[in-house]
Homo-oligomer: A and B are copies of this chain.
Amino acid sequence: MPRLDFWYEFASTYSYPAAMRIERIAADAGIEVAWRPFLLGPIFKTQGWDNSPFNLYSAKGRYMWRDVERLCAAEDLAFRRPDPFPQPSLAAARMALTQAVTPLRAEFSRRIFLAEFAEGLPIADEDVLSGILGELGLEPRAIVAEAGTDRIKSRLREETAEAMRLGIFGAPSLVTEDGELFWGNDRLEAALSWAAQ
């Protein structure tokens, strides 16, 4: 089966609807999805931004909130604006890369996005994270410990460096096996078509 790499950031608003629908449309297209969490912060820093561009550029930010609200309504997804935005996503991203979470990474990721953007919960909160791990039948304490290891810390740094190397500058981004880059929830279909060629 052809594979599509789905690069997402847990703090990213547009990554939420993309995460909720990608498996459905990928299955229809016969494409396997590789879930690749990364951090946008270090990439934004190289562009001179110390915050989300949606906070730095107010017209863009106002538009984004309305646009995501409309997109979620069209997809029948609940939507709440998290406060603060962006949410600190480091803990969730590290957890997603642990060995224990890896087989359940897609489901773990969707639950993080739902907690954050449907329920408005703080995704760096230990109780929120432990609650999600528990729902998945995982042992929170072991995963918190693994997420804090140097191996996982450097794994996330490497994934972020790889995203940058691929030309990624925002989330979600899609990369096909032949290196074609697509940016945005609104490019999922185009990326899947490309991957299926």
Residues of chain A whose beta carbon lies under 8 Å from any beta carbon of chain B? 47, 57, 59-60, 62-63, 66-67, 70, 164, 167-170, 181-184, 186-187, 190
Contact = CB atoms under 8 A, between A and B. Distances in A.
A164 B59 CA distance: 9
**In this complex, which of A59, A63, A70 has the most chain B Cβ atoms within 10 angstroms of its Cβ?**
A59
Given A62-B167, A63-B169, A63-B183, A190 B70 contact: yes
Q: How many copies does the complex hold?
A: 2
A59 B168 contact: yes
Closest 8 CB pairs of A and B: A59-B169, A186-B186, A60-B169, A47-B57, A59-B167, A63-B183, A62-B167, A63-B181
Contacts of A63: 167, 169, 181, 183
A66 B169 contact: no
